[in-house]
Structure 1
Amino acid sequence: MTYADLADLPGSKTEPDGSAVVRLLSYNVRSLRDDREALARVIRACAPDVLCVQEAPRFFRWRKYAAWLGRRTDLCYVTGGATASGPMILSSLRAHVEHTEDVLLPRTPGPHRRGLATAVLRFGSSARLAVVSCHLSLQAAERRAQAGLLLDRLPHAATPHAVVAGDLNERPDGRAFRRLAGALQDCGAVRPWGGAYTSTPDDPHQRIDAVLASEGVEVLGCGVPVGLPGVTGRDLRAATDHLPVLAALRVPAAAAA
């Protein structure tokens, strides 16, 4: 993939038929413990309409850090953070927020509790997208169960179109990843774009972060934005311990009643 090709990922727009091209970025930010300015530069260069965060700050003054991230990336807080035990959703002003819900998943003794940040966003007059930001368990059995609980929440009653984005803590051949990909489109496999591996920034060798979309959502491109104009290798290495996943998706307009 050449840098010129990377620049060709479709930009945000609403089509004459009411469908919407949405740019969505999924990023594990490691609680903003690394170079925050590098992180903000990467996010701004990706120009997302929707940012699905994992490992958002969730302890003391976490809302202050969520607000800082929004200010530095020209995005608005939608839902999640401490209330979802880590996952969070931000969006541009292009998105109209119709519904939000933070979901805490059943807790296994020992590891910290996991959760889901969920929202229904509308683009234009009728292109609705249910969004889930997730961070699955480090334990394989719990991870697979969480994948099932996540799928149980889709589709949302407000829309048949959905996207799940997050740190799955598992490669595509894992049971939880396969469970999700059996019900949803694995966007990075359907329309590869950019880089494939998300871990680690210093030595990318495994794909454990993903964007998955329901049938009916057209995948226009999905991958790690290595070499995207404005995204430098130095910033990617300094920002956090994961590489981000950027996807361009075409969301159909709702059918007329």
Structure 2
Amino acid sequence: MKVAVLNYSGSVGKTVTASHLLAPRMNGAQIFAIETTNETAGDLGLDIDQMRGEQFGRLFRDLLTLDDAIVDVGASNIEDFLTAMNRYEGAYEELDYFVLPVINTGKAQRETLKTVMALAGLGVAAECIRVLFNRVESVVEDEFMPILTYANTSGEFVANPNAAIFENEVFELLADGRTTIAEVLTDETDYRALLRSTDPGDEKRIAQLSNRHALRALAKPVNRQLSTAFAALFSPVQG
């Protein structure tokens, strides 16, 4: 499966989507970061191939040889990316899905719909455009009504309310630690045992160990929720 993650709106969770939701569930997919200014999956320790939006020709050639890929398109590069993609007839067909993360601000939702219209204008089929609701505080239907309403009336994209990532401090902690949920969960260190054997006066060491243990405890339920979101995001469209 080959997936592009993009949105005209910045700070909606594109790198979180690529790094924590998609990468662990896509067979070791190559990650391409179309970014020049902001954080990428590479900042979290993942192996990426970084390029600019206007370098779509190089990306297109790479996609032809891959079964699985994640293309994380930064907001600062999306215009160049879409313009360059449009130069190659049918190039969008090399991507199975276009995933649009969105948060519950008016600006982000308006720019998400702008992104939908741009993709639809290029000829991307509705079932290939999927919205991912990010930083959900409580109920998707209450926080993202404009998106859901437009999806139902226009038929230009898929907006499944179950494709949602809920607000959680774990993502900020992961960014601070320059790590991913997958890496945290594969860490088999017994932090409880290390804490018991640490000098009680070594406050810095105790803080580090307790933070790592707490991060793993926090990451486990979030990872299960991400698996639910992933399944909903790519679920077949009901005819």
Please state which band the TM-score falls in when normalised by the shorter chain: 0.3 to 0.5
* Higher percent of residues as helix: 2
* Higher percent of residues as strand: 1
Task: Compute the TM-score of the two structures, normalised by the length of structure 1.
Answer: 0.37
Instruction: Report which structure shows greater RCO (CA 8 Å, sep ≥6).
Output: 1
